Amino acid sequence: MKSQFQAAADSETAHAAPMSSTSASLPPLLAGARARGMADAFELLGVAAAFIDEAGFALHINDRARRLLGPQLWVDDGRLRAADRDLDEALSAAIESALINGAPARAATDISFASELRGAVAVKVLPVAAEAHDPFQLLRAVVIIEEQGYAAPWRDKGRLAGLN
């Protein structure tokens, strides 16, 4: 099953103009390639991640993140939700904060909770820097979901992979 940005990029590729007139079609292709590249990188690192668009909807949720979803954290009408009201509000506020135009690329919001099935779970919401008013850049935030004590933190995995 293709994610929304994969389907959109495939559609753009299928309808792309010949190379001589690519100036109009190149930005959406590059935006889709950037999002796919980020999704692939998180997948290769084994990091559970949900990719969020400019309206707060999940564009793509990788397989590892899907396995961590359950009764306390799930997707409802395209948005990440939590069973606990305070946690749900904190998650929504963190995603909204990440979506604010001009959010610092290094700013992140950490949220932790205890899961009956998984023990301690940490959620980190990271904004994705985008050019202001870029209509093609759909990806605006990444939500990382991590079982505490289960695997190396995502930053350590990035260092081990030579990404830092």
* pLDDT more than 70, % of the chain: 61
CA 73, CA 70: separation in Å to the nearest integer? 5
Burial of residue 125 (number of CB atoms within 10 Å: 0-12, 13-18, 19+): buried
Q: Which of 66, 38, 32, 46 is nearest to 128 (CA)?
A: 38
In the chain the beta strands, taken as DSSP E runs, fall at 48-53, 58-61, 73-76, 79-82, 109-115, 119-127, 139-147
Residue-wise pLDDT for 28-47, tens only, equals 666 667 778 888 889 999 99
All structural domains of the chain, each given as residue ranges with its CATH number in brackets, are 4-160 (3.30.450.20)
What pTM, to 2 d.p., does this model score?
Answer: 0.69
In 46-141, alpha helices (H): 63-68, 85-99
Residue-wise pLDDT for 103-155, tens only, equals 665 567 788 877 766 678 889 999 887 766 666 778 889 999 998 865 555 55
Q: How confident is the model at residue 55 (pLDDT cuts 50, 70, 90)?
A: very high
